[in-house]
Structure 1
Amino acid sequence: MATVDLLFVIFEIILSKIKNDYFPESFLDITPVCSVRYALRRAIIDCSVWFTIVFTLDRHVTICCEKLKTKFCTKKTATVVLAITGILLCLKNIPIYFRFRPSMIIDGVPWGCSNSYAYYYDPVWIGFNDFEKILTPIIPFALILCLNALTVKHIFVASQVRKGLKCQSKGENHKDPEMENRKQSVILLFSISGSFIFLWLWYILYYLGVHDPLDNVGKYAFKHVAYMLRNLNCCTNTIVYVATLAKFREKLRNPLEAIFA
């Protein structure tokens, strides 16, 4: 997740947003380079979203599936799942390289990336564009909601049963280390998935055409806010992840305390 978020900052923020503002004309605007850059941007966004889904699934199995946890929640399984997911998403974005045509040709060198005419009229490209939006982020959006609902239901039932057993065995409500661990896992899970749902919601609403009744200024503002929040999500997953871990906060606090001491 950290690697993908860093790549997103490099390709989307630095090599796209900042580059367009401060270096509008460079070798990055040569059509083949521009096409590769855009395809990589899309692949990185897909990986950022689906790695969040894999993380949510991992937390769900850890909390809800005791028998499956020992086999699924391992370093080897995580490596295989992330590798397969990343490879498939990169392969899925290869057609994007062929989506563009040069905006202009100067001294025989193609410059710029404009959508080809077929992109707007060819049923294959129209279907591919719809498939892209469904794959990222509509399906992940539904999966996160479903997994979170199942996790919450399991934790609620398990907490009630465990609390009842504790009261029967000790006659009073003692602090339960197992429930504390589950509480930390739930905080981590909902921090990442909750921010994902909120920040991607506006992009989904934009794709579904909620902005259509607005005037041109409203549509322009809605579009850029939706993209800004989407970019923010892809940049902040790692920050949310480490900020919710008690051990990380302790490791960060120790050198800070040493400096001021």
Structure 2
Amino acid sequence: MMTLLIFSQGKCGLSKGITRYMTAMATGDLMVLVFSVIVSQIIKDYFPGSLLKYTLACRLNVFLQGLSLQLSIWFTIAFTFDRFVAICCNKLKARYCTERTANVVISIVSAFNIMVNIPLPFRYEPTHVLNNEQLGCRTIASYHTSLAWAAHRWLTNITNMFLPIPLLLLLNSLTAHHILAASRARRALKSNRGGAGQMGRDPELKTRRTSIILLFTISSCFIVLSAPITVIHICVGVTRLVAFQGSSSLYVTVRLAFLLMCTSSCTNTCIYALTQRRFREEVKNMLKYPSSLLCKPRY
């Protein structure tokens, strides 16, 4: 919430396009915290009398939970691609890295993920009916035998698990390779001009090194936190295991992998945003003067 509020003020010195992506990423992360953690893991387990006992609310939460996880992942990939274009594609940079393009990309990503997750509520049926009210959620019998549901499972696994990690690695690797090549060329040029003694203090090279560290930090965090659930999905798909015993070590492993995946959605905004000096200043200002961001909006 604090991140969204800060970005809405436009005081972080970022371009409007980057601000749009950062806001979208923060929104996706917040949705994960609300629907995948607070609602699905806390309210559902510790407040059995909540609205989630009704089938309609349960189905809606399943849809929002799946949507939030996918939005968090693909907003990050969209932002990474935008930075790839900005660094590696000079001819395309002026046309692509704009606020208008960012709005279009965010809208397309959101619409696609909404369509992918629309079938999720229909995966469940009421556990029982009491006084004409549908209660509880259980998987329909045809879910494990229908070809349509099998195709949907593959689609969600590809978009959630199998595609994001290689795609993010590819974009960051290409970006890092471009930065390294440009740095070598800059060193060679300075050396030919007799500026070898000042290369260690070259602010441009320092900025590029920081960019490489940032890119690989993003990749490492995403892979480390998302890989366990990806491996489990592959194993479950191969062994066709669909149920777990509550006391089994496999169940504990699945829960831990899910925890790591939810944690992954919270690191992206921190890695990108907290590296910005002006963002940190706005955080300090908000902590010192909470009313300042509310009373003095900047558009």
Q: Distance in 2 between matches of 1:227 and 1:54?
A: 23
CA contact (8 A) 2:44 2:52 kept: no
Aligned partner of 2:126 among 102, 108, 114: 102
The Cα of 1:242 is off from its aligned counterpart by 1.7
Aligned counterparts of 1:105 and 1:255: Cα–Cα separation in 2: 49
Work out the CA distance in 2 between the residues paired with 1:189 and 1:59.
Answer: 10
The residue number in structure 1 matching 2:37 is 13
TM-score w.r.t. the length of structure 2 is: 0.79
Aligned to 1:30: 54
Q: Shift in Å at residue 257 of structure 1?
A: 9.9
Contact 1:119 1:125 in 2 (8 A): yes
8 Å contact kept, 1:47–1:85 = yes
Distance 1:78 1:255, change over 3 A: closer
Shift of 1:137: 2.0
Q: Is the 8 A contact 2:32 2:265 kept in 1?
A: yes
Separation in 1, partners of 2:180, 2:273: 25
Q: How far apart in 1 are the matches of 2:102 and 2:209?
A: 23
Contact 1:59–1:189, Cα closer than 8 Å, also in 2: no
**In the alignment, does 2:184 pair up with 1:160?**
yes
- Which residue of structure 1 lines up, in the alignment, with residue 270 of structure 2? 239
Report the AA paired with residue 85 of structure 2. Answer: V
Unaligned runs of 5+ in 1: none
Query: Per-residue displacement from partner, 1:131-190 (whole Å, max 9, x unpaired)?
Result: 210111211111011112212221221111111101212432333333333334333333
Q: Aligned to 2:202, which of 144, 169, 176? A: 176
Any idea what SS the aligned residue of 1:110 has?
strand
2:228 counterpart residue number: 202
Aligned to 2:294: none
Q: What is the DSSP-based 3-state SS (H/G/I as helix, E as strand, rest coil) of the residue aligned with 1:25?
A: coil
DSSP-derived class of the 1:244 partner:
coil
In the TM superposition, residue 252 of structure 1 has moved relative to its aligned partner by: 4.3
User: Structure 1 residues 251 and 36, CA, compared in 2 at 3 Å: closer, same or farther?
Assistant: closer
Kindly tell me: are residues 254 and 100 of structure 1, through their superposed partners in 2, closer, same or farther at Cα, counting changes over 3 Å?
closer
Q: Deviations over 1:3-56 (max 9, x none)?
A: 111111111111111102321222222111111110111011111111111111
The answer on whether the counterparts of 1:188 and 1:245 sit within 8 Å (CA) in structure 2 is: no
Give CA-to-partner distance per residue, 1:98-130, whole Å, 9 cap, x none.
Answer: 111001111111111111011111111112112
Does 2:260 align with 1:229?
A: yes
Question: Is 2:150 aligned against 1:119?
Answer: no
Q: Which runs of structure 1 show a deviation greater than 6 angstroms over 4 or more consecutive aligned residues?
A: 254-258
Q: Match for 1:4: what amino acid?
A: G
Q: Please, which of 168, 174, 177 is the counterpart of residue 144 of structure 1?
A: 168
Distance in 2 between residues matched to 1:31 and 1:255, nearest whole Å: 41
Instruction: Tell me which amino acid in the other structure corresponds to 1:229.
Output: L
Residue equivalent to 2:157: 133
Deviates more, 1:239-248 or 1:156-165: 239-248
Please give the alpha-carbon distance, in whole angstroms, between the structure 1 residues aligned to 2:287 and 2:113: 40
Instruction: Tell me the matched-pair count.
Output: 256
Flag structure 2 segments of 5+ consecutive residues without an equivalent.
Answer: 1-24, 240-244, 290-299
The residue identity in structure 1 corresponding to 2:60 is V
Moved more, 66-75 or 80-89: 66-75
Other-structure match for 1:54: 78
Percent identity over the alignment? 38
Pair 1:191–1:36, CA change in 2 (3 A): same
AA of the residue aligned to 2:188? G
SS of structure 2 residue aligned to 1:208: helix
1:76 aligns with 2:107: no
The answer to whether the 8 Å contact 2:183/2:208 transfers is no
2:297 alignment counterpart: none
Per-residue CA shift, 1:213-261, capped at 9, x if unaligned? Answer: xx97321221111111001111232222222223323444678899xxx
Q: Check 1:254–1:34 CA distance in 2 against 1; reply closer, same or farther (3 A cut).
A: closer
For the residue of structure 2 that corresponds to 1:209, the secondary structure is helix
